[in-house]
Structure 1
Amino acid sequence: MMRLLDLLHRWLGGVIGLLLAVLGVSGALLVHKDVWTGVPGAGDPHVTETAALAAAAQRLMADPETRPRSIVFATDGFGLNRLSFEGEAGAYADQAGQIVTRWESQWERPEVWLFDLHHHLFYGDTGEMVAGVAGLVGLGFVITGLILWWPLRHSYVFRLVPRDLSRFAILRHHRDWGVLLAPVLALSMVTGAIMIFRPVTNLVLGPGAEAEITRSLKPPPPLKGVKLAPDLDWGGMIREARRLYPTAEVRILSLPREGSGLVSLRLRQQEEWLPNGRTTLWFAADTGRLVQARDALKLPARAQAFNAIYPLHAAKVGGLPYRLVMTVSGLTLGLFGTLTVWTFWFRRKPRQKREPRIA
């Protein structure tokens, strides 16, 4: 049984090791995306006054010719608003509503294509599914690795890197260092799989969790025949949101999707872990009147638990210490995946027969 488990562990590692390495390294880089983006104004202080937010939104959304599809507002760690346009086009704007830089393709911004690589492998929903399967296989590596390590636990040696690049040294480092980081690696794999595969959600959060989460996060019914007015009071939506949730952080303002006739405004209350929050207000696209408001703190317990999955996966909670832990986890996955493929496919030199010694 152990021999079969070892064979399966090694073969799967040799086949998808590089894929796991790509996911690990790209995830480690994305954890610190706000630091290395390098756009002028990224370090500006976070503006939270309602009047300033309303004025910036009105300025960016007023002109139908230049209006973005959505605005992701600045945060404490990143002092620029991010705008999304049709296709892959986007822009950064300062918190007063002035455009700082634009791009027409994701390849013009490393943080954008790196995000697409990590989440979709540059292949949309299909790539996301492949990444999810790789995450589940990676979780299997953690479990089988612990099983295979247990009989050899007395020979454990802590090393940051392999002693040398020999096959024996790499495999021993892989075994001992992997055991140390097994909890963090498992957390990364499980949280990633939950976000992609709803059956995994049911397995982790309990039967029926998928249906409950979908139902509780469902937007209100579309307003049939309602079209976006050219002169909406965008600032008024933010003022209304702040009236209802005075301490909430304004996060995302989005145009109606798929003819819904609803403008959405997402907020993050202080108790929410999700960076962009799930507290949502919907406004009629023709008049700007408030249609419905959803308080994320009043969602069912399993929906709130699901909302905490992404912050755990992307190290959006816990501050710098947790970001460093997840960085080590991602880089370790990159090291393991690369060296596993190299040692698996590297042909060992046949041992030379030694001549018998003559007394």
Structure 2
Amino acid sequence: MKLLDTLHRWTGGLIGLVLALLGLSGTILLYEHLWIAVPGTGDPLRGDLSTVAATTERLMVLPGAQGIIYADDRFGLHQLRFGEGAGAYANQSGELVTRWVSQRERPELWIFDFHHHLFAGDSGEWVIGIAGLCGLFFVISGVILWWRTRRTFQLRLWPKRMSRPAIVMHHRDLGIVAAPLLLLSVVTGTMMIFRPFALGMVAPFGPVAETAKALDPPKYKGGPLTDKPDYTAMLTEARRRFPDAEFRILSLPRKPGDPINIRMKQPAEWLPNGRTTLAFDAATGELLGARDALKLAPGAQAFNMAFPIHASKVGGWAWRIALTVSGLAMTMLGSLAVWSFWFKRPKPAKRVVKKAAFAAT
């Protein structure tokens, strides 16, 4: 038990600040649709084919346009993507309302990048994934360590004093209350980073090999991108294939031979941008293949639920409030763990050297 306690304290002291910042940034992102100050964010969704097609044709002719994330019920603007982090918001009539040349100009974008990549791309994802595994260890080991002190349980939102013993007691008692939510947040977040971990978590839903194959996107080969793609025809075919689905993302090829991809969300899908996909030849507009997310392997469908749970894209306000509690608890637990470990460590006891007393002769 002493070894477990030592590992818990040292790991928390080293990685606690990362977890605290992830908890804080994640909590802020839960409410991004409310604080983005751009005209049109609250516009009602106009998802009919004619409106979406006309807007797409208008936006995709802009120089450098690489794709569109379409408006939805929560956010009433389309997000147009350009290269090197540039982008724009456009209303559902195709009129630009704001542009940026770097994601640093938009707080919702750089906070998202920090939360998912720590501003360091794939390397940052690895750090976050490792922090997630450490968070899983914290929750499990914390429950075990708390059990010894369960009789002294007192729920406080803040430590009684900013002394190390008071912080440790608060840390244990707050941690045990928040443990179920923290466990769910950490597990779903780590699933999106480490594929082997994710496959292990969804293994009860079906064979791992079948799930892994279903999660890999199909590969298609087509011609070079034409100067004037017929987006209306592609969107029309997509709506014909999936009449009840919403248009979510249109992406141009990243390299010659790649297709134009359209992602849609069917009503039964939890993932906000859906996993129902269609691939069109970039040269001819011919449909190369379509994938129904509701017909994927059960394990893949279970994996697709991780992000909506993690980011409160399902469950309404009740679940968003629960995740807010989880995020703030992670922020407090991580920051106070670092504070108590590095700045409130007990001072080593001074050695008292006793002088020998000599009797007077």
**Same topology, TM > 0.5:** yes
* Distance apart, 1:166 and its partner CA: 2.2
The change in CA–CA distance for 1:3 and 1:349 in structure 2 (over 3 A counts) is: closer
Q: SS of 2:192's equivalent?
A: helix
Which of 71, 79, 84 pairs up with 1:82?
79
The change in CA–CA distance for 1:220 and 1:4 in structure 2 (over 3 A counts) is: closer
Which of 293, 308, 317 pairs up with 1:311?
308
* Distance apart, 1:67 and its partner CA: 4.7
Contact in 1 for aligned 2:103/2:109 (Cα 8 Å): yes
CA–CA separation in structure 2 for the residues paired with 1:220 and 1:191: 24
Contact in 2 for aligned 1:201/1:210 (Cα 8 Å): no
Which of 136, 139, 154 pairs up with 2:136?
139
Q: Match of 1:299?
A: 296
The change in CA–CA distance for 1:350 and 1:201 in structure 2 (over 3 A counts) is: closer
- Deviation sequence 1:144-181 (CA, Å, 0-9, x none): 10000112112211222222322222211111111011
Answering whether residue 27 of structure 2 is matched by residue 25 of structure 1, we say no
CA–CA separation in structure 1 for the residues paired with 2:207 and 2:331: 32
Could you tell me the TM-score, scaled by structure 2's length?
0.92
- Deviation sequence 1:279-336 (CA, Å, 0-9, x none): 0111111121222111100011001111111111111111111111111111111111
Contact in 1 for aligned 2:64/2:83 (Cα 8 Å): no
CA–CA separation in structure 2 for the residues paired with 1:263 and 1:196: 26
Q: Match of 2:341?
A: 344
Q: SS of 2:249's equivalent?
A: strand
The AA in structure 2 aligned to 1:332 is A
CA–CA separation in structure 2 for the residues paired with 1:319 and 1:58: 34
CA–CA separation in structure 2 for the residues paired with 1:47 and 1:75: 9
Q: Match of 2:213?
A: 215
* Distance apart, 1:124 and its partner CA: 0.6
Which of 251, 254, 269 pairs up with 1:257?
254
Q: SS of 1:286's equivalent?
A: coil
The percentage of aligned residue pairs carrying the same residue is: 53
CA–CA separation in structure 1 for the residues paired with 2:170 and 2:258: 57
Answering whether residue 280 of structure 2 is matched by residue 283 of structure 1, we say yes
Q: Greater CA deviation, 314-323 or 161-170?
A: 161-170
Contact in 2 for aligned 1:201/1:209 (Cα 8 Å): no
The change in CA–CA distance for 1:210 and 1:38 in structure 2 (over 3 A counts) is: farther
Answering whether residue 15 of structure 2 is matched by residue 16 of structure 1, we say yes
Contact in 1 for aligned 2:245/2:265 (Cα 8 Å): yes
Q: Greater CA deviation, 282-291 or 130-139?
A: 282-291
Answering whether residue 2 of structure 2 is matched by residue 3 of structure 1, we say yes
Answering whether residue 146 of structure 2 is matched by residue 149 of structure 1, we say yes
Q: Match of 2:239?
A: 242
Contact in 2 for aligned 1:283/1:292 (Cα 8 Å): yes
Contact in 2 for aligned 1:14/1:340 (Cα 8 Å): yes
Q: Greater CA deviation, 70-79 or 154-163?
A: 154-163
Contact in 2 for aligned 1:202/1:209 (Cα 8 Å): no
The AA in structure 2 aligned to 1:233 is D
Q: Match of 2:353?
A: none
* Distance apart, 1:196 and its partner CA: 1.2
Q: SS of 1:302's equivalent?
A: helix
The AA in structure 1 aligned to 2:32 is K
The AA in structure 2 aligned to 1:114 is I
The AA in structure 2 aligned to 1:182 is A
Q: Match of 1:105?
A: 102
Answering whether residue 342 of structure 2 is matched by residue 332 of structure 1, we say no
How much is the aligned-residue C-alpha RMSD, in angstroms?
1.9
* Distance apart, 1:274 and its partner CA: 0.4
| Unaligned stretches of 5+ residues in structure 2 | 351-361
CA–CA separation in structure 2 for the residues paired with 1:145 and 1:29: 26
Contact in 1 for aligned 2:85/2:102 (Cα 8 Å): yes
